[in-house]
Amino acid sequence: MAMQKALDLDAVRAFILIADLGSFTRAAEVLEVAQAAVSLKLKRLERQLGCRLLDRTPRHVRLSGQGREFIEPARELLAAHERAVAGTSAARPQRLTIGISDHVAGPELPMILARLNAYDPSRIIEMRIAASRELAAAFDQRELDAAIVRREDDRRRGKPLFEDRMGWFAAPTWKPRAGVPLPLANMAAPCGVRAIATRALDSVGVPWTEVFVGGGVMAVGAAVSAGVAVAALAARVAPPGSVDVGPQLGLPALPASEVVVHSRLREHRAQELLRVLGAAFRAGT
């Protein structure tokens, strides 16, 4: 890769974001620019390097062979730049405290954390997984820098991130029993999803009984996988292999779950990292 002049750091950052998020659109969201501007940055970088960094199809964006060779040096370049801007190569790591609702933190969370670490390895990420109401309260008490939660009431706070499709999930081997109330696995009250699900069933006269109460979505999902019960869950956090039995059983449709982000971050780099997190979640919806 022969370079004719110094690389544009903004173009390098755009390339890393496209590669990590698998999307020009998501990279543009993080950088808060138009998608066309991201495309121009990448073209300029590829022209400087004299090679194609990404293979693009209408549905996928992947690193090319040259892109795979360049991605780690690109990360090192940006990391060195951040250290230089900070004024020392041994700057004290900064902490970012984030709360994520367990109705949002799905199975792709490890991959998302890897993307955050790759984008800013010097940042200490402190993450709390809990119920949306608990995290909203913690944010209000300034215990969190940011929180990604379900919107649980009519408060018009928080920036919308995406909507999750909700369904009635069960193990593929689970079968309803004639004359027996629908067995439900729920999180303990005052869980907002529990309230929505039970109200929906009551509104159409579907008898139900609570057979399992979990302390988090993982526990509820375990009950589903075990064939113990049916659970109202967002499709993205439903256990692998589970199926939406709502249409089969004639259960009421559940409203989409609106996910929002609350933030009091002011530092530019931290704001950008939070946008990376939001874009990574949207990429998985």
Residue-wise pLDDT for 226-250, tens only, equals 999 999 999 888 999 999 999 999 9
φ and ψ of 136, to 5 deg: -60, -40
pLDDT tops 60 at residue 90: no
Q: What pLDDT score does 256 carry?
A: 87
pLDDT, average across residues 191-210: 92
Q: 211 by DSSP, 3-state: which?
A: strand
Q: 6 by DSSP, 3-state: which?
A: coil
User: What residue type is 137 in one-letter code?
Assistant: A
181 versus 35: the higher-pLDDT residue is 181
Q: Which pTM does this prediction carry?
A: 0.74
Residue 276 Cα distances to 14, 112, 282, angstroms: 12, 9, 10
End-to-end CA distance of the chain: 36
pLDDT, average across residues 183-207: 91
pLDDT tops 80 at residue 92: no
Six token digits for residue 12 = 């390098």
φ and ψ of 121, to 5 deg: -65, -15
Let me know the angle formed at the C-alpha of 165 by 203 and 159, rounded to the nearest 5 degrees. 105
E-only strand ranges, 140-207:
146-150, 159-164, 166-170, 182-187
Please write the tens of the pLDDT for every residue from 138-171.
999 999 999 999 887 655 578 888 888 999 999 9
Six token digits for residue 132 = 């949306």
Q: What pLDDT score does 182 carry?
A: 95
Distance CA 67, CA 72 (A): 9
Q: What is the mean pLDDT of the chain?
A: 86
Decide: 49 and 15 in contact? Cβ < 8 Å.
no
Distance CA 81, CA 94 (A): 16
pLDDT tops 50 at residue 89: no
Decide: 179 and 209 in contact? Cβ < 8 Å.
no
> Which of 159, 152, 154 has the alpha carbon at shortest distance from 262?
159
